Structures are given as C-alpha cells and as structure tokens.
Structure 1
Amino acid sequence: MLESLFVPTFIVALAEIGDKTQLLALLLASRFRKPWPIICGIVVATLANHFAAGAVGNWVASFFSLATLSWVLAVSFIAVALWTLVPDKLDGDEDSSLQKFGPFLTTLIAFFIAEMGDKTQVATVMLAAQYPHFILVIIGTTLGMLIANVPVVLAGNFAAERLPLTLIRRLAACAFVALAVYAGYQALRFSGMI
C-alpha cells in the first residue's frame, strides 16, 4: 500500500527538477516575493490537475487486462524517461497577464495550465493506472511536486542555479526506466511467460 505513495513521490520529485513548472515556481517567487501564497497555489493546482490525471489513469486501467496494461505502462515509462532527459524552458512570459490576480491565484492558474500535458501529469496518469491506491498516488505525486518546488520558492535563484540538473534528469530517467523494466516483468508474469 505504501508503495502507491512512496514511488509516485520519488518519481515526480525527480522528474520535476528542471521542469517548466519548477522554472515557473522560480519566476513567480522572484516576481511576487511572497512564498506562502505561491506554495498554497502550487498545492491546490497540483491536487486538482493530478486528481484529474489520476482519475484518467485509473479509468483507463479498467479497460485493459493486467498484461496489456503492463506492456502499455512499460512503453509509456520508456517514453517519459526519454522525455525527462530533455531540459524544459518556459515558453514566453506566460504568467505576466495573470499577475494582476496576486500570488495565490496567479500561481494556481499558471501551474494548472503549465501542468497540462507535462511529463509529471503524464507520469501521474501512468502511476494511477499501475497502482491500486488512487488517492495515495495523487498524494504522492503532489508531495513530489512540493519536494521539488517548495525549496525553489523559498530559496529563489540561489538553489536553482546550484542544482546539478543534468545529473538529476538522468537519475529521473533511470527511475522511469526501472519502472518500465518492472512493468515489462509484470507483463511477462501476467501473460504466463514467467
């Protein structure tokens, strides 16, 4: 049961390092200089976004056999592993028009939108499809986002500039590959090949 919490927390925390939403957190922290409303906005946006993503993953899982789902997950984890190796950049100044709403609402809206189709959202869909405890997966992916983003918000530029982002991206990619191998093993087991 705790695996449904700890694996998503670890995976998303690693995948989030250097991600565009982490860059967005850094940008919001430097613009507003009010960390607690920004952190609260991150929590609410992430819970809403990952709940929806987890619900999709949980729903999709009900349509496939365990073997088929495991093969789909293995391929998806490999794709996310490769995606993790590509550094993210913020596209333009996407939150500038939102600043009039203050730090909480700006963060809530900007984070929710930035997470759409992001690798951590895709990972949440896959993790919710793989693990049976839906709520624990959502809590875990949200904790992973907070583990990666709260220090950035609190420390600002100081922490972000000193992180070994390439190494962290490689570690995250390795974690997704490990999940792919495990899902492949499960697929073979469910197919009766092992």
Structure 2
Amino acid sequence: MEALITSTITVALAEIGDKTQLLSLLLVARYRQKWPIIVGIVAATLINHFISAWFGQWFAGWLPTGYASMIIAVSFIAIGLWVLVPDKLEDDEADCGCYGALCATFILFFLAEIGDKTQVATVVLGAQYASVIWVTLGTTLGMLIANVPVVLMGDKLMKYVPLNVVRYIAAAVFIILGLLGIWWSS
C-alpha cells in the first residue's frame, strides 16, 4: 500500500507543469473529445510506467543495498531540481496527422513520457519498492490526478492554478524526500 500511495503522490507532484499536461490541453483544444483522450492517457501511461517500474526493480537488484538507497535518495533530489525547470511542448510532438483522439493521445503520451521526469520517477520508485504492479498503478493514478482535470476543465483551470508556486512546492517535496533518504541511509 505504501508503494501505491507514494507512487501516486510522487507522480502527481512531478506532473505539475510537465509537457504531458500541456499536451493534454492541446489535445482537448484540437479534438474536443475528452473521454477518448483520458483513455489514451491511461493506456499509454500503464504500458510506459509498467516497463519503467520493472526496469527500476531490475536495476535495483544489481546494486548493493547501501548503494541503491543512496542512489534512490539522490535521484529524488535530482527530480526535485528537474521539476523547477518548466517543460515546453515541441510543435512537432503535437502533430498526429489524421489519427483519432484516442490513437493520437496514446502515441503522443507514450512518446512524451520517454525520458520524462515522471518516467524517471517511476524507475526510481520501481527500484525503491518491490512491487512493479503497485508502483505502476500508483504512477498511473498520479498521472490521472494531474492530467484529467486539465482534460476536463482545460483553460478554466489554468487561470486559477498558480503553476510556479505549485512547481516550487513539488520540487521542495522531492528534495526533502531525497535528503531524508540520504539521512536514513547513512
């Protein structure tokens, strides 16, 4: 249960201001079909984050326990610093030709997540916890918590959410978790 809760909170925070949130907004503006976009986000995230969590767990198995804890803690600090850098959506990432909303969302979200901070966070969480399934479900839930309101409320939500403040709070949470991890592992 800890893996689920921690994964959900971690990814929901890391996703604030992320390019996939911008992508959600763009997809709704383009297709205006909310539920196919949400289903595409779920499908792409489940597959991408399952692979990421599995890789993190596999990688952690290769490291001595003392090193794994320290690498995970430092990774949380790095993700916290990364959260401070606002993402921008590249114009060519948004072009999906004539595909429908579901297919376009699936492809674009899957590709946008490759090397993204939420994917890195999922790898770190997979290394930290022994449950690929709970980490995958948690990180997917975190993505939905961050992206579904953007899909459903779009422009209205962005007018009232102070994105920079939320980004600073999310960064602080990651950095504090990393520092606590370093303190606990020493």
Instruction: State the TM-score, normalized to the length of structure 1.
Output: 0.92
Query: Conserved in 1, the CA contact under 8 Å of 2:57 and 2:123?
Result: yes
Tell me what 2:22 maps to: 23
The 2-side partners of 1:29 and 1:103 are apart by 9
Q: Which consecutive aligned stretches of 4+ in structure 1 deviate over 3 angstroms post-superposition?
A: none
SS of match in other structure, 2:85: coil
Residues 1:156 and 2:154 are matched in the alignment: yes
How big is each residue's C-alpha offset from its partner over 1:28-81, in whole Å with a ceiling of 9 and x where there is no partner? 011000000000000000001101111110000101122100111121111111
The 1-side partners of 2:158 and 2:88 are apart by 14
SS of match in other structure, 2:77: helix
The 1-side partners of 2:22 and 2:158 are apart by 9
Q: CA RMSD in A?
A: 1.1
1:78-97 alignment, distance < 5 Å = 78-96=77-95
Query: Conserved in 2, the CA contact under 8 Å of 1:42 and 1:107?
Result: yes
- Seq. identity, %: 53
Tell me what 1:13 maps to: 12
Task: From the superposition, tell whether residues 39 and 99 of structure 1 become closer, same or farther in structure 2 (CA, over 3 Å).
Answer: farther
Of 30-39 and 127-136, more deviation after overlay is shown by 127-136
Tell me what 2:42 maps to: 43
Tell me what 2:57 maps to: 58
For 1:7, the aligned partner's letter is: T
How big is each residue's C-alpha offset from its partner over 1:116-139, in whole Å with a ceiling of 9 and x where there is no partner? 000000000001101122211110
Aligned length: 186
Instruction: State the TM-score, normalized to the length of structure 2.
Output: 0.96
SS of match in other structure, 1:62: helix
The 1-side partners of 2:45 and 2:155 are apart by 22
- Following superposition, the deviation at residue 182 of structure 1 comes to 3.0
- Following superposition, the deviation at residue 174 of structure 1 comes to 1.5
Tell me what 1:192 maps to: none
1:1-194 alignment, distance < 5 Å = 2-96=1-95, 98-188=96-186
The 2-side partners of 1:101 and 1:94 are apart by 14
SS of match in other structure, 2:62: coil
For 1:106, the aligned partner's letter is: A
Task: From the superposition, tell whether residues 14 and 21 of structure 1 become closer, same or farther in structure 2 (CA, over 3 Å).
Answer: same
How big is each residue's C-alpha offset from its partner over 1:11-30, in whole Å with a ceiling of 9 and x where there is no partner? 11111111000000000011
Query: Conserved in 2, the CA contact under 8 Å of 1:67 and 1:186?
Result: no
Unaligned runs of 5+ in 2: none
